[in-house]
Amino acid sequence: MVVAVIGNAACSVEEAKLAQEIGEQLASRGATVVCGGLGGVMEAVCRGAKLKGGLTVGILPGNDPEMANPWVDVAIATGVGQGRNAMVVQSAQAVIAIGGRYGTLSEIGHALKRGIPVVGLNTWVLSRGGKEDDTIIRARNVADAVDKALSLAQNKEDQR
């Protein structure tokens, strides 16, 4: 199972704590973590996964794999800038969004467009025609986010 974790490269202490806990829980349950490979939420989720012996993949915007945070096992240098956002989510069966800014929003859009489920923890709320769009599945806490993401990923895998 591969779960993408997305969020801002400059995150709050609370977002980093949530991301690290998510990384720990995903790794403890055998999931591979894929992210954008840089700092903030991406670094924290990789750190958490590595602390529990998990595998981490960073899909980087630039040409240099050395730009990856120190917790990335597999660094993929794309050279396509923010275009790598589509690659991050396309590499996973489910996505967990933590906080985030416009880069995270673009990843959410790419995932939803491709039918990849997105679980949100303190992240964007979408609306359409003045009404809330519930396509981002809300999580109450870290355990809820991981449970939902892994269940959705398994359902997606079973449909293949």
The C-alpha atoms of residue 135 and residue 85 are separated, in whole angstroms, by: 19
Residue 160 pLDDT more than 80?
A: no
User: Which pLDDT band holds residue 53 (cuts at 50, 70, 90)?
Assistant: very high
81 DSSP assignment: G
The 8-class DSSP code of residue 30 comes to T
Q: Which CATH number fits domain 2-158: 3.30.499.10, 1.10.510.10, 3.40.50.450, 3.40.50.300?
A: 3.40.50.450
Q: What share of the chain is helix, strand, coil (3-state, %, to 5)?
A: 45, 25, 35
Q: What is the pLDDT of residues 107-119, one digit of tens each?
A: 999 999 999 999 9
Task: Please write the tens of the pLDDT for every residue from 55-87.
Answer: 999 999 999 999 999 999 999 999 999 999 999
Domain spans in the chain, listed from the N-terminal domain onward: 2-158
| One-letter amino acid for residue 1 of the chain | M
Residue 8 and residue 63: Cα distance in Å, rounded? 20
